[in-house]
Copies of this chain bind each other. A is one copy, B any other.
Amino acid sequence: MALSSSSPIRHHASHRTAAAAIAAATLRERHASSLINIPATLSSLLHLHHERKPDDHSVGFPPPAIGRNTPTVSPKEDIFSLFPEIHGHADWSPLLNPLHPWLRREIIKYGEFAQATYDAFDFNPLSEFCGSCLYGRHRLLDKLGLARNGYRVSKYVYAMSHVKLPRWLERSLHADAWSTESNWMGYVAVSDDAESRRIGCRDIVVAWRGTIAPTEWFKDVQGKLEPLGDARADVMVEHGFLGVYTSKSDRTRYNKTSASEQVMEEIERLVSHYRQRGEEVSLTITGHSLGGALALLNAHEAASTIPDLPISVISFGGPRVGNVAFGEKLKEMNVKVLRVVVKQDMVPKVPGILFNEGLKRFEHVTGTLESVYTHVGLELGLDVSSSPYLKHGLDVAGFHKLETYLHLVDGFLSSDKEFRRNARRDVALVNKTSGMLRDELHIPPRWAQAANKGMVRNAYGRWVKPAREPEDIPSPYREEAQL
């Protein structure tokens, strides 16, 4: 299809309109939060020293119907007028503190694209497809309930590396595993016509999978810098991250080309395809943890290859990736970076600090590493203690979980305000793979699990592991994208 010439994708709103829109929306939100009164159980949680009377049943209950059943999908407003602000090409800061509701929703949208790389990843070492995506790309978003975001997955990306890193590579114990070298590392998606009109641009998204074991970061990220092969010779990045992004081997089925080559080929293909149709195209790269590091490497390469492409990175709990020169180069190339960081999370502090498991506290090493590795872009700082739903004890793994991040983004109003009282994102998601939710909510910790670990009863009543549906079986050939 070709968008009508009156398509808002062509011309962006003036700054005056933008300012007005910000004011209006912020007002609406303040209004809403004063109107909505949240359920008794949850409000009781808002007072953390709430004394529970023995005969007080309200706390024991799960949140009542009103709290459990309200929709979790935010209203889809047309936000094209704010495209430059929301994607950071105009200055991001006026939308960050207080956080503009439209930007909050977009951050969560991209965060959920990153979360999809965990939710759809086959972690089961007894599966012959361990390390692959559980679903074919055509139904990935649908299976995860993300179809409503209005994007279509056009390609899967695979990565390999022999560099020791926080456990990111899952290996199958199966004799005939689909691949023992490579893992599914993420995907490329593109906004459909409706979503493109709504946000004001044909949006290409790259979502990178990360890793979920923060403590390993401090053992395994060696902080060894390596030249990126940039025009600027002094641009250096952490060699482990670069290894995942660039490794390839002819002996493998999925990495005869590197993750870098796979993703860039697809980005270039999509950009030229939509530009030929006269559309404005943007690239938004997202990822959590290691995925945040890969997002920056990917952004640097994309900016070098397609200089005039608007590129923004929205990362969650990402580590430092490169030296000062790397940061400068990204800025030169006009790559916009928004780093969402939970201040209790350790991963964004590496490389640069050591974590002493025994003492359970941080120890700064002689500043050298710290000064070498630098963060880039703007930071959206979140605080676990701001949420009345979360436990506030030390939970190294829980602090780093992407769902913890998304919950805190959903509740963030501004650095000086308390948790947003009318936050509507499903709180239960926090406990999907952690135990961060307060016990009073009665949401099981780490509840995400397959029924009977995937075993099913066949027609004879015998328990068997079902074969994967053909469309969900990974294939190095089927990865060629069609539009």
What residues make up the interface of A, taking CB atoms closer than 8 Å to B? 57, 59-62, 68-73, 124, 126, 145, 173-176, 426, 428-429, 439, 442-444, 447-455, 457-465
Contacts and interface: CB of A to CB of B under 8 A. Distances in A.
15 contacts: A62-B464, A68-B458, A69-B462, A71-B460, A71-B461, A72-B460, A73-B460, A428-B462, A429-B463, A444-B453, A444-B455, A447-B452, A447-B463, A448-B452, A449-B451
A457 B145 contact: yes
Nearest to A176: B57
Given A175-B61, A453-B449, A126 B460 contact: no
Nearest to A62: B465
Nearest to A177: B60
A461 B175 contact: no
A462 B68 contact: yes
B426 A463 contact: yes
B175 A57 contact: yes
A73 B460 CA distance: 8
Q: Tell me if A's interface is mostly helix, strand, loop or mixed.
A: loop
Contacts of A73: 460-461
A61 B428 CA distance: 38
Contact of A458 (B57, B60, B69): B69
A458 B450 CA distance: 18
Given A444-B455, A452-B449, A464 B68 contact: yes
Contacts of A62: 464-465
Contacts of A451: 449-451
Interface core residue of A175, A453, A460 (most chain B CB under 10 Å): A175
A330 to B, nearest CB: 36
A142 to B, nearest CB: 13
A465 B64 CA distance: 11
Nearest to A429: B463
B145 A461 contact: yes
A405 B457 CA distance: 21
A428 B454 CA distance: 13
A450 B73 CA distance: 27
Contacts of A176: 57, 60-61
Contact of A426 (B442, B453, B461): B461
Contact of A70 (B70, B124, B460): B460
Contacts of A454: 444, 447
B461 A72 contact: yes
Interface core residue of A450, A458, A462, A465 (most chain B CB under 10 Å): A462
A383 to B, nearest CB: 25
Contact of A175 (B59, B68, B72): B59
A444 B454 CA distance: 9
A352 B461 CA distance: 40
Contacts of A439: 173
A69 B62 CA distance: 42
Given A69-B458, A145-B457, A442-B465, 10 more contacts: A59-B175, A68-B464, A69-B464, A145-B461, A426-B461, A428-B462, A443-B465, A449-B450, A449-B451, A450-B451
A73 B442 CA distance: 40
A395 B60 CA distance: 38
A98 B422 CA distance: 71
A439 to B, nearest CB: 8
A448 B452 CA distance: 5
Nearest to A57: B175
Given A176-B61, A444-B455, A453-B444, A72 B462 contact: yes
